[in-house]
Structure 1
Amino acid sequence: MTDDAYLFLVDDPATPLGASATAVGDLACLETPAVRAWLDAHGVTAASPDVRLLPPEETGAIPHGAEKLPVPLSDEELNQLRHALTPGALARVEEELLAYRDCAGERDALLARAVAAGIPPHRIVELTGEDARTVASAAARGQGGPSDPGPRQQ
Structure 2
Amino acid sequence: MTDDAYLFLVDKTTAHLGVPPTALGDLPCMDTSAVSAWLAAHDVTATSPQLRLLPPEETGSIPQDAERLPVPLTDEELSRLRHRSAPESLAALEDELLAYRDCTDGRDRLLTRALAAGVPPHRVAELTGENPSVVDAAARK
TM-score (norm 2): 0.64
Unaligned runs of 5+ residues in structure 1 are: 105-128, 131-154
The percent of aligned pairs where both chains have the same amino acid is 58
TM-score, length of structure 1 as denominator length: 0.59
1:3 and 1:56 in contact (8 A); partners too? yes
Structure 1 contact 19–81 (Cα < 8 Å) conserved: yes
Choose 44-53 or 12-21, whichever is displaced more: 12-21
Query: Structure 1's 90 and 5: CA in aligned 2 closer, same or farther, altered over 3 A?
Result: same
Q: Which amino acid aligns with 2:51?
A: V
For these two proteins, the number of residue pairs brought into alignment is 105
Q: Whole-Å Cα distance in 2 between the matches of residues 94 and 52 of structure 1?
A: 22
1:133-154 CA-partner distances (Å, limit 9, x unpaired): xxxxxxxxxxxxxxxxxxxxxx
Query: 2:25 is matched with which residue?
Result: 25
Within 5 A, what are the aligned runs for 1:71-90?
71-86=71-86, 88=88, 89-90=90-91
Moved over 3 A (4+): 92-98
Residues 86-123 of structure 1, C-alpha deviations (whole Å, 9 max, x = no match): 2621214556999x939x6xxxxxxxxxxxxxxxxxxx
CA distance in 1, matches of 2:69, 2:106: 42
Change in CA separation of 1:22 and 1:93 when aligned onto 2, cut-off 3 Å: closer
Structure 2, unpaired ranges of 5+? 110-139
Structure 2 residue matching 1:7: 3-state secondary structure = strand
Aligned to 2:65: 65
Q: Which sits farther off after the overlay, 49-58 or 84-93?
A: 84-93
C-alpha spacing 1:93/1:37, structure 2 compared with 1 (3 Å): closer
* CA pair 30-37 structure 1, distance change in 2 beyond 3 A: same
Once the two structures are superposed, residues 5-64 of structure 1 have per-residue CA deviations (whole angstroms, 9 ceiling, x without a partner) of: 000000128721110111122111000000000001111111111000001111111011
Paired with 2:45 and 2:83, the residues of 1 have a C-alpha distance of: 22
Q: Is this contact kept in 1: 2:21–2:51, CA < 8 A?
A: yes
2:54 aligned residue: 54
